Structure 1
Amino acid sequence: MTPEQLSTTIVDVLTTLSDRGDLTLPEGVPTTVTVERPRQKGHGDYATNVALQLAKKAGTNPRDLATLVQQGLEAADGIAAVEIAGPGFLNITVAAGAQGVVAAQVVDAGAAYGGSDAFAGERINLEFVSANPTGPIHIGGVRWAAVGDALGRIFTATGAQVTREYYFNDHGAQIDRFSRSLLASALGQPAPEDGYGGAYIHEIAAAVVAKEPQVKDLTDAEAQEVFRAEGVEMMFEEIKQSLHDFGVDFDVYFHENNLHRSGAVDRAVARLGELGNTYEKDGAVWLATERFGDDKDRVIIKSDGEGAYLSGDLAYYLDKRERGFDRCLIMLGADHHGYVGRMNAMCAAFGDEPGTNLEILIGQMVNLLRDGQPLRMSKRAGTVVTIDDLVEAIGVDASRYALARFSSDSNIDLDLDLWARQTNDNPVFYVQYAHARVSGILRNAGELGIAWGTDSFDPALLAHEKEGELLRALAELPRVVASAAELREPHRVARYLEDTAGVYHRFYDSCRVLPMGDEEVNDLHRARLVLVAATRTVLANGLGLLGVSAPERM
């Protein structure tokens, strides 16, 4: 019995009490109730505070309501015992057979286990990374690559239609500085004072010259345009390749230049004007963002007729909404924190709801440590640690898991020595080793010719304390995934996997799965093989949501 199934059982009991007239709820019986795993042993398999939540509305005291629910639950299938604790908590023990059924449900669901329809029908545009094409992706962008892709996988698992989008910033001053830096390198000159340095600049400049040898014969202005066109494209292809090697691919690469060339900016400004949210002052067009919670109004069209920086954001947001997205999520670094207020005001100015139609997630800094000391420099980029540096140091799996394992709104220190170890103090190794271990058991069972399956095993045989703990852990995955989607927190999946791996190891230490020596295979062996197979499914599915491999041998 999963927490969701127990919640349904409790709702059924409340409905029966209401129909009989033993319970009066003016607002009606809730459709779900909270069911949690108790923190202390001896308090049953699950606990609920439903009596405390509903007693006041029902005009009774919590313990009296708890007693009514207790009587109803004790008569329900799959419930072994119900105890009332404190002011009205209910501690529920599930019958071994009802609990053991979870193992079969997990195995039968396979790759679909853990998913739900929590976001069914919603179209979500998930924009992340979006690093400027002026250099390799630095460690902050790598964090969003890991977290953003994991969040996309989690949204998909909960029923959403997800589009991963990369905003290709190919318009503005930083591109000018990049192209001037390439030109200076090609001419053997030092990088401009406001330009970009690093070995990658020399590599790309040389590649442009090799492709367009005549570039050195052009005027500086003409040459710069060549370096802009060719160099930006080469840099962006390199960025896309690095992300692909990291396991991250995007559905849409949206070019900022297109907004300005297509008239999208003018359309967005016109729409806001129709809504009465723009005005003219000092020869410029302003967006009245202060009325929507911003600290001041913002210029969107400057007095010279050029679009201000915010104008591109207006056009881009409107474009996403016109493409049919219900939710537009944007992941930004900590240096964009001051950006949130104006973006939410922009969303409201279009008549949309900030936090629903537009949501901005802010990620904090990542610090890399080696030998206990901060690692700050890249051999190739010269100034920042890049995605390729991290992968070279600890590999793709460890990189993705490490970056997705922490709440994105907290700073993290990653000890590269720890994440490179093949030991149990490395969290990703610990979880992957658990998956390899269960895979090995199932492989050995096959070599021994042991037949097992979900249609013939007796779930009531899984009555050992450690089996119960593992079954309850496996039953939690759907709720963990739904919570990770609702709160935008993929790290919940990682921490769950580590806890579940620990529960599995304790089960393995207490419960022998395969027969020893000449011992005959019995139904308990087969039942435990179903439980082991369910564990493999849960670990593989959870790792898959983080974009991390689930090896069968280590």
Structure 2
Amino acid sequence: MTPADLSRTVLHAVHRAVAENALRAPVPARVRVERTRPGGSGDYACAVALQLAGDAGLPALEVARILRERVAAEPGIGRVEITGPGFLSFTLDASGDSDRAVLDAVREKGSAYGHGGALRDEVLQFHHAREVRAAVTADAVRRLVISQGAQVRISCEEAGEAEWGLLGVTVDAYGTPPVPLAPIRPVPAGATAEELLERLGADATRWGLLRPASHDRAPLGDELLVQGEANPLFRVRYAHARARALTRGAAALGFTSASDASPYEAASDASPYEVASDAAPYEGPARPLLELLADHPRVLLAAARHRAPDRVARQLEAVAHAFFDFHDSCPPLPSGDEKPSAAHRSRLALAEAAGTVLAGGLSLLGIRAPAHL
């Protein structure tokens, strides 16, 4: 179950409680769930009971109990606890079915995994100065909010550099807007688009401008071109390229991922989604990677809401790091005379999903994801 699935599950429980007259309160348009903070209980937490308590005329703890009854039995939910004044804390079911649901969602949606309609009712207008970092940031914010269903228009105070087009930037209007618009105001880059393109190229320039939070200075040195692990952009793109190479390698060996396998190919005494042991699917080094993939839709929505493309960059770095930890500990391809097994197919499915998420995230930042590096 992804965070977006969990949000819909809780919202459905509210609908049920109201329909059954157990709760008399207006149903919210959406329910927000967040990762539990360090030291907290469960995987995710939600304050919907506190939100509804006033309208329902009930203590938040009572509202939480009403909702817990209706959420606890849902597929993908392992445990629901009530904490503090009425927070609902959720521990997700770590079973193979829940894991497969994440991989199936990535496979079904491809690079659009994590896109949604949470902002579909919003029409947004952003305005920025004639400055390259502001222009690139506004473009990335445009991509993010569109991915969540919003309509958006970008204006700039005056005509920009011709080289902005080489960075993928488009502007809808120029001049001072007649009404105040939401400003995009990152710390300026201190260089022109022409200078950055000549020295770094388009992809490294966009990463260098977008990776830091907008209130931080953007480091734009030659380290962005280093072909090594010290360069986060290289590591992210190399993880994507390695995932694609695994697919090619598996095809050369005549097998596919678990999600692609035919009934004959998947036949095995072991679960087709087993990785580390017979006891639990996708445990060990696979678990952090799978959890990051499950959390990806929430990260994209948060980045869109907060106009913060740097959150996407950090998410991609985390996915790349977890991918290499998993890859090195649980090789998706057999070695030597070893024959492909169900475990290899399941590992390959996870690696392919990671590659898809990396490609989709880079696309939202306006950065290419080459299949070969």
Question: Is the TM-score greater than 0.5?
Answer: yes
Instruction: Calculate the aligned-residue CA RMSD, in Å.
Output: 3.2
User: 2:92 aligned with 1:102, yes or no?
Assistant: no
Q: For 1:238-292, what per-residue CA distance to the aligned partner results, in whole angstroms no more than 9, with x for missing partners?
A: x41x2233333x36576xxxxxxxxxxxxxxxxxxxxxxxxxxxxxxxxxxxxxx
Partner residue, 1:113: 113
User: 2:7 aligned with 1:17, yes or no?
Assistant: no
Q: CA deviation at 1:427?
A: 2.2
Equivalent residue pairs, number: 357
- Whether contact under 8 Å (2:121, 2:150) holds in the other structure is yes
Q: For 1:187-209, what per-residue CA distance to the aligned partner results, in whole angstroms no more than 9, with x for missing partners?
A: xxxxxxxxxxxxxxxxxxxxxxx
- Whether contact under 8 Å (1:98, 1:460) holds in the other structure is no
**Which letter does structure 1 place at the counterpart of 2:333?**
L
Q: For 1:81-138, what per-residue CA distance to the aligned partner results, in whole angstroms no more than 9, with x for missing partners?
A: 33444454423222421232111111111132222234447665655564xxxxxxxx
- Whether contact under 8 Å (1:99, 1:468) holds in the other structure is no
Q: Write out aligned runs for 1:105-144 (5 A).
A: 105-120=105-120, 128=128, 130=130, 141-144=131-134
User: 2:303 aligned with 1:484, yes or no?
Assistant: yes
Tell me the SS of whatever aligns to 1:476.
helix
Counterpart selection for 1:436 from 241, 258, 261: 241
Q: Would the alpha carbon gap of residues 455 and 479 (structure 1) be closer, same or farther in structure 2, given more than 3 Å must change?
A: same
Partner residue, 2:294: 475
Name the CA distance, whole Å, in 2 between partners of 1:45 and 1:69. Answer: 17
Q: CA deviation at 1:160?
A: 4.0
Partner residue, 1:38: 36
Partner residue, 1:549: 368
**Which letter does structure 2 place at the counterpart of 1:362?**
R
Q: CA deviation at 1:507?
A: 2.6
Partner residue, 1:386: 192
**Which letter does structure 2 place at the counterpart of 1:389?**
E
Counterpart selection for 1:362 from 185, 198, 201: 185
TM-score, length-scaled by structure 1 = 0.57
Tell me the SS of whatever aligns to 2:247.
helix
Partner residue, 2:208: 402
**Which letter does structure 2 place at the counterpart of 1:99?**
D
Tell me the SS of whatever aligns to 1:504.
helix
Name the CA distance, whole Å, in 2 between partners of 1:111 and 1:45. Answer: 25
**Which letter does structure 2 place at the counterpart of 1:245?**
L
- Whether contact under 8 Å (2:49, 2:61) holds in the other structure is yes
Q: Would the alpha carbon gap of residues 512 and 84 (structure 1) be closer, same or farther in structure 2, given more than 3 Å must change?
A: farther
Counterpart selection for 2:359 from 513, 525, 540: 540
Question: Which deviates further from its counterpart, 36-45 or 397-406?
Answer: 36-45
Partner residue, 2:71: 73
Give aligned-pair identity as a percent.
Answer: 37
- Whether contact under 8 Å (1:84, 1:91) holds in the other structure is no
Q: Would the alpha carbon gap of residues 58 and 127 (structure 1) be closer, same or farther in structure 2, given more than 3 Å must change?
A: closer
Q: Write out aligned runs for 1:244-393 (5 A).
A: 244-248=165-169, 250=170, 313=176, 317=177, 347=179, 354=180, 358-366=181-189, 385-393=191-199
Runs of 5+ unmatched residues, structure 1:
131-140, 170-235, 255-311, 318-345, 348-353, 368-384
Name the CA distance, whole Å, in 2 between partners of 1:466 and 1:46. Answer: 21
**Which letter does structure 1 place at the counterpart of 2:146?**
T
Name the CA distance, whole Å, in 1 between partners of 2:326 and 2:194. Answer: 39
Decide which structure has the larger Cα Rg and report it. Answer: 1
**Which letter does structure 1 place at the counterpart of 2:137?**
V
Partner residue, 1:186: none
User: 2:348 aligned with 1:529, yes or no?
Assistant: yes
